[in-house]
A and B are shown apart, each in its own frame.
Chain A
Amino acid sequence: DADVTQTPRNRITKTGKRIMLECSQTKGHDRMYWYRQDPGLGLRLIYYSFDVKDINKGEISDGYSVSRQAQAKFSLSLESAIPNQTALYFCATSDRGQGVGELFFGEGSRLTVL
Chain B
Amino acid sequence: KQEVTQIPAALSVPEGENLVLNCSFTDSAIYNLQWFRQDPGKGLTSLLLIQSSQREQTSGRLNASLDKSSGRSTLYIAASQPGDSATYLCAVDLYNFNKFYFGSGTKLNVKP
Contact = CB atoms under 8 A, between A and B. Distances in A.
A104 interface: yes
B67 to A, nearest CB: 19
Interface of B: 1, 4, 31-32, 34, 36, 41-46, 49, 51, 89, 91, 93, 98-105
Contacts of A104: 46
Q: Interface range on chain A: under 10, 10 to 19, 20 to 34, or 35 or more?
A: 20 to 34
B103 A94 contact: no
A92 B98 CA distance: 13
Contact of A40 (B89, B91, B102, B104): B104
Contacts, number: 64
Interface of A: 31, 33, 35, 40-45, 48, 50, 58-59, 88, 90, 92, 94, 96, 100-108, 110
A102 B51 CA distance: 10
Nearest to B44: A105
- Dominant secondary structure of chain A at its interface with chain B: strand
B31 A96 contact: yes
In order of increasing CB-CB distance, the 9 nearest A-B pairs are A42-B104, A43-B102, A107-B43, A42-B102, A105-B44, A105-B43, A101-B32, A108-B43, A102-B49
